[in-house]
A and B are shown apart, each in its own frame.
Chain A
Amino acid sequence: MNVEDVFSSRLRMKILKILFNVGELNVSEIARRLRINYISATKHLKILEDEGILQRKMFGRIRLYRVNEQSPKTKALQNLIDAWEHQNEK
């Protein structure tokens, strides 16, 4: 997926902000925090996972997502979000 396609979604950016903040969450909790339905959350999470930005772990029926700290994309994103949020706080 092109970079403009990955970042064209407000929800995907919000998912990233949440996961950078809390580290790890299951799909239902991400959906609850964003006030979106489970299927929609799953769709966006899959896109971010396919890009290698997120990692998924399965524990039975539970799916936990976290940022993939090994990915250079994740590090770049972390810097971008930090700089952006920090700038807005000033």
Chain B
Amino acid sequence: MSQGRSVFRDETKLDINYVPRRLPHREHELGLLRGFLGFALKSPGRMAQRVIITGDVGTGKTALSHRFGADIGHEASTRGINLRYVHVNCREYGGSLFLILQHVVSVFHPNFPKRGYSAEELLRTLMQILDEENACIILSLDEFESLVKREGSEAVYKLTRLQETRQNKPQRLSLVCILRNLDTVKQLDASTRSTLQSNIISLDRYAKQQLVDILNDRVSLAFEPLAVPEGTVTLIAELAFSESGNARFGIELLWRAGKYADAEGFDTVTPECVREAVSSIFPAMRRGDLATLGLHEKLFLLAIARIFKENQKASISLSEAEQTYTVVCEEFDASPISHTQLWKYLKDFSNLGIVETQVSGTGSRGRSTTISLPRIPAHELEKELRSFFEKRLEKS
């Protein structure tokens, strides 16, 4: 690759704050959210709602809410409706209702004083602003757990029951509460819970193929054509899947792997770039784990490392590993051990988190095992193992 060129076309498309136009495999949930809050466009001020979005880390909760907010905000301004979508990460404000409300008020009055009043006064101020501007607001409270932990039921109650103190006035505040675990809501008192729990959107963990689709979407936005081979995307998807189906982790890994490719001057983002990227995120390879391995375990692992180092495959077959293992045994004057024993070693490597294995489904020709080396750069693993054998030769 010529100097100064990059595998990236637009790396900002991999930024944690970037919200893509399309959210693959979240179309249904986006439709649900539009269904729950669509009244804000049809009959603004006539109704307010509360929606909970729940799901594990990296399941697209924040992206879903942001996408919805951007779409409904755009649609509202097209129709001349004064509807604001405000997204607040409660954790950034230490879970303080006062600071969260202050942020919301600052959307309308950026120089609103920072002290000298209570959260209740601030909530009244917000409603006054909304009344005066004939505006409605969809307030998205991300990392809602943080608010519940700090303020308990009281704060949530104030937000959800606000309208009851505003008899015959337009309903201007709808809430989207984003949280990982619904257990948080169980901590609230019964009356608060009852106002909150009616509309729940649960986001399941992404499946491996869904992660592949998400990553492919980002690849087409962020990278030059053909810069990210299919095997690399598959490897990243597998890693993200093993991290509880965390798409955000996968996208970050994709960016990091691209950075390694640029640093090495590669035209493409190879699986080795991914391994480099992973080792920078995960704790470094534990030398102690390698030291406790027996001779043939080390020889077998060395064979695996060499295959990955010498080609750019994302995964290899067990038989390929066995063939190279035989060659490695010859190099170090050792007699190869049986297939069954190697298979057991492979399971141990997998348990130690050094490799990952996958067994294909039963077919007419039996099962086959594929091996991937997702977390450790092959060249580093090979170097470590080679140093063991060099020390051994020095001693003898």
Interface positions of A (Cβ within 8 A of B): 22-26, 28-29, 59-62, 64
Contact = CB atoms under 8 A, between A and B. Distances in A.
B110 interface: yes
B102 to A, nearest CB: 12
Task: Place the interface of chain B in its size category.
Answer: 10 to 19
A62 B113 contact: yes
B110 A61 contact: no
A15 to B, nearest CB: 14
Interface string B108-122: 011111001100010
A60 B117 contact: yes
B112 A23 contact: no
B129 A25 contact: no
A8 B305 CA distance: 84
B323 interface: no
Contacts of B109: 24, 64
B128 interface: yes
A25 B111 contact: yes
Given A29-B113, A62-B125, 12 more contacts: A22-B111, A23-B110, A23-B111, A26-B112, A59-B125, A61-B116, A61-B117, A61-B121, A62-B113, A62-B116, A62-B117, A64-B111
Interface of B is mostly: loop
Contacts of A23: 110-111
13 contacts: A23-B111, A24-B109, A25-B111, A26-B111, A26-B112, A26-B113, A29-B113, A59-B125, A59-B128, A60-B121, A61-B116, A62-B112, A64-B112
Nearest to A22: B111
B386 interface: no
A60 B121 CA distance: 7
Interface in B92-138: 109-113, 116-117, 121, 124-125, 128-129
Contacts of A60: 117, 121, 124-125
B284 to A, nearest CB: 50
Given A23-B111, A60-B124, A28 B116 contact: yes
Given A59-B128, A59-B129, A28 B121 contact: no
A23 B124 CA distance: 23
A62 B111 CA distance: 12
A23 B121 CA distance: 23
A19 to B, nearest CB: 10
B134 to A, nearest CB: 15
A22 B111 CA distance: 8
B118 to A, nearest CB: 9
Contacts of B113: 26, 28-29, 62
Contacts of A22: 111
Contacts of B117: 60-62
Contacts of B121: 60-61
B93 to A, nearest CB: 20
8 pairs of A and B residues whose beta carbons are closest in the complex: A59-B125, A26-B113, A60-B121, A24-B111, A25-B111, A22-B111, A59-B128, A62-B113
A77 B351 CA distance: 76
Nearest to A23: B111
Contacts of B111: 22-26, 29, 64
Nearest to A61: B117
Contacts of A24: 109-111
Interface in B131-166: none
Nearest to A60: B121
A28 B112 CA distance: 11
A21 to B, nearest CB: 11
A23 B113 CA distance: 13
Contacts of B112: 26, 59, 62, 64
Interface string B334-365: 00000000000000000000000000000000
A59 B129 CA distance: 8
Contacts of A59: 112, 124-125, 128-129
A24 B111 CA distance: 6
A25 B113 CA distance: 8
